[in-house]
Amino acid sequence: MAALSNLHSAAAVAATSLNTNSSSSSLASTQHHPITLRPRYQPDRSPRLAIRTTTAKSASRDAAAAETSRTARLEKDPAALWRRYVDWLYRHRELGLWLDVSRIGFTDEFVEEMRPRFEKAFRHMEELERGAIANPDEGRMVGHYWLRNSKLAPSEGLRKEIDRTLDSLCRFADDVITGKIKPPASPEGRFTQILSVGIGGSALGPQFVAEALAPVNPPLKIRFVDNTDPAGIDHQIAQLGPELASTLVIVISKSGGTPETRNGLLEVQKAFREAGLDFTKQGVAITQEGSLLDKTAKLEGWVARFPMFDWVGGRTSEMSAVGLLPAALQGINIREMLAGAALMDEVNRTTELKNNPAALLALCWYWASGGVGSKDMVVLPYKDSLLLFSRYLQQLVMESLGKEFDLDGKRVNQGLAVYGNKGSTDQHAYIQQLREGVHNFFATFIEVLRDRPAGHDWELEPGVTCGDYLFGMLQGTRAALYANDRESITVTVQEVTPRSVGALIALYERAVGIYASLVNINAYHQPGVEAGKKAAGDVLALQKRVLAVLKEASCKQPIEQLTLNEVAERCHAPDEIEMIYKIVTHMAANERASIAEGDSASPGSLRVCLGECNVDNLYG
């Protein structure tokens, strides 16, 4: 109990310090001072403008001096800080959501200078919602906002398609939960588990929502195959055990050809065959109409198929069948999620900066990172159920904003790095560095006011509950970081509900779109991801050539044991010898090749072979 008392004392001191800073109730009017807009805003406080010399030492000194100058301007007077808090606080009463940007040090002059950019961004978002080609590289509309308000869709056909899909998946989920749709071989007589097979946006959103909102005893429990890791897939299937017979498998892939998802599907189908089960009676496809997956599911007679729309990207697909079907099957109120997102979209259409929470986030991101991604975004949700929010935002923000070229074709290497952990776990992880180490970040606190359902709380000691400790840790950490010139944003929700989760998703989707316009990039494509996929394909193509060479050598009498140089030469790939070494090492570790001579720690000494001639089925 003494340890708890000491912890409470520390939290109380931090909270008292915060309350002291918020003691005054007087407000001061904001004076704006317009100045001329430069081609790309880089504030005088940014370390990038301070670098005037070409030497590393002088650049480092200049950057440190500029950062010191910038942070010296952060407001520290308690009365003035309270006025700033009140002046910039955003609240959405119906959603029970607050946004506090007072601990980001942007100035009135900065806000005025950014107004033309925001006016342009607001126009872009309006055009996007009306159906403009917002993804010029792929010639596509961007319509995830229509998913929660189909009336906004630019055509009657799209509106009907959205409504029809939502109604269809709701009926399907009800039929599964009530047992009207049931697995053929399950002793329970109904589906009890979901195995969701997908990767990236097809997994991160559904995982976040499941962690945040699934009831303690959902109608169907969910598991995910979200990688092409054989051990991970085996683990998920093994955990199902005999319940594989009552598992509904949802396969999610827009193109139907995503390698990781295809591999997961093949592994799951193998498990069904080995268990004597008919996969087609338990499989559901969520994919673009006409894709390979769609055609396969239709031909084989899977239980159901739902569409992924061409105009919805993976990282913004949570409000489509991708996220809504798994959520509905877990008993989550998906219409409330959609309602929360629609309410947030509505307020984010205002062109009044202070009343547009997504624009406020974009403003803070631009200020904190100098508009060039100079600082990371650390996301700290102080609620266990929101643990995966930082992981979800990692893809949404980084895949959208991490771009080499802007819309004018200029190389800009934009982006914001995102990482995070839950509070108060972060107290014991990296807060030490955040407060005292390298100053290369700004924080985002996610606060939930409701600790437990009403009537379930109790006091650990007089006047103090378990949730009070969590509250004290959040407020204390926020105050401690700001005292050492570390800036932060705080997003607060009344409680974690389908409506508030929908609002959070919509808030950050819009903030990403607005910020992308501010820095003149396409937020809706991912050429770097495609480049990685192509490179992975090249590695597998090279591996097939290596296998062919080793097979031929192993079928000779006597068996040829080849050096890496000889393998590379016969593959006509002398420049790929390092990759060939890695391929051979990986195959040897999995008993698909043999290192006949030498040591893998000394690649030049190796001689390799397959060990046998009959390898026809090795890559069948």
Domain membership of residue 317 (yes or no) is yes
Its pTM surpasses 0.85: yes
Confidence of residue 192 (pLDDT cuts 50, 70, 90): very high
Q: Select which of 32, 428, 456, 572 is catalytic.
A: 428
Residue 192 located in a structural domain: yes
For residue 539, give its domain range: 528-610
pLDDT exceeds cutoff 60 at 619: no
Four-point Cα dihedral 349, 350, 352, 354, nearest 10: -70
Q: Which residue has the higher pLDDT, 28 or 609?
A: 609
Q: The domain that contains 555 carries what CATH number? A: 1.10.10.10
Tell me whether residue 405 is in a domain: yes
Give me the residues paired with residue 98 across strands. 91, 492
Among the three residues 300, 332, 364, which one is the final residue of a domain in this structure?
Answer: 332
Please tell me whether residue 142 adopts helix, strand or coil conformation: coil
| Stretch 475-496: mean pLDDT | 97
CATH number for 427: 3.40.50.10490
Q: Which pLDDT score is estimated for 311? A: 97
Strands of 139-233, DSSP E? 140-141, 193-197, 221-225
Q: What is the pLDDT of residues 422-439, one digit of tens each?
A: 999 988 888 999 999 999
How far is 478 from 310, CA to CA, in rounded Å?
42
Identify the domain boundary among 501, 525, 549: 525
CA–CA separation, 70 vs 541, rounded Å?
52
Instruction: Name the average pLDDT for the chain.
Output: 89
399, 447, 487, 560: the catalytic one is: 399
Do residue 323 and residue 459 come from a single domain? Answer: no
Whether 534 maps to a domain, the answer reads: yes
Give the residue-averaged pLDDT of 109-123: 98
Whether the per-residue pLDDT at 448 is higher than 80: the answer is yes
Mean pLDDT calculated for residue range 562-587: 96
- Examine the domain organization and report whether 302 and 198 are in the same domain: yes
Using the structure block, give the residue that is written with the tokens 């606080």: 89
Residues 317 and 242 in one domain: yes
516 and 415 fall within a common domain:
yes
Does residue 441 belong to any structural domain of this protein?
A: yes
User: Could you check whether the bond before residue 558 is cis, i.e. omega within 30 degrees of 0?
Assistant: yes
Would you say residue 1 has pLDDT above 70? no
Mean pLDDT on 200-218: 97
| Mean pLDDT for the stretch of residues 122-137 | 94
Chain mean position to CA 341? 17
Pair (416, 298) in one structural domain: no
204 and 327 housed in the same domain: yes
Residues 462 and 321 in one domain: no
Task: Supply the pLDDT for residue 570.
Answer: 97
Distance (Å) of CA 277 to CA 186, 271, 410 = 10, 9, 55
> Does residue 12 lie in a domain region?
no
The verdict on 116 and 188 lying in the same domain is no
Same domain, 452 and 309: no
Alpha carbon distance 593, 303 (integer Å): 41
Domain count, the chain: 3
Contact by Cβ (8 Å): 598, 607: yes
Least confident of 345-359, 511-525, 588-602: 588-602
Cα(523)–Cα(135) distance, rounded to whole angstroms? 8
Give the dihedral of Cα atoms 35, 39, 40, 42; nearest 10 deg. Answer: -40
Determine the average pLDDT of the residues in 96-100: 98
Residues 232 and 277 in one domain: yes
Is there a catalytic annotation at residue 428?
Answer: yes
Calpha distance 225→195 (Å, rounded): 7
Residue 507 falls inside a structural domain = yes
- Confidence at residue 611, expressed as pLDDT on a 0 to 100 scale: 76
* pLDDT average, residue stretch 347-368: 98
Q: Is the pLDDT of residue 66 over 80?
A: no
Where does a domain end: 525, 550, 573?
525
Categorize the per-residue pLDDT at 67 as very low, low, confident or very high, splitting at 50, 70 and 90.
low
H or E element: which one contains 252? Answer: strand 247-252
For 9, counting Cβ atoms within 10 Å of its Cβ (0-12 exposed, 13-18 middle, 19+ buried), the class is: exposed
CB-based contacts of 389: which residues, under 8 Å, 6+ apart? 208, 212, 379, 381, 420, 446, 504
β-strands 488-493, 97-100 pairing: antiparallel
pLDDT reading at 130 higher than 90: yes
Choosing from 124, 281, 354, 533, the catalytic residue is: 533
pLDDT band at residue 17 using 50, 70 and 90 as cut-offs: very low
pLDDT of 533 reads 87
- Do 534 and 477 reside in the same domain of the chain? no
Whether residue 514 lies inside any domain: the answer is yes
Q: Is-catalytic flag, 551?
A: no
Tell me: do 439 and 549 sit in the same domain: no
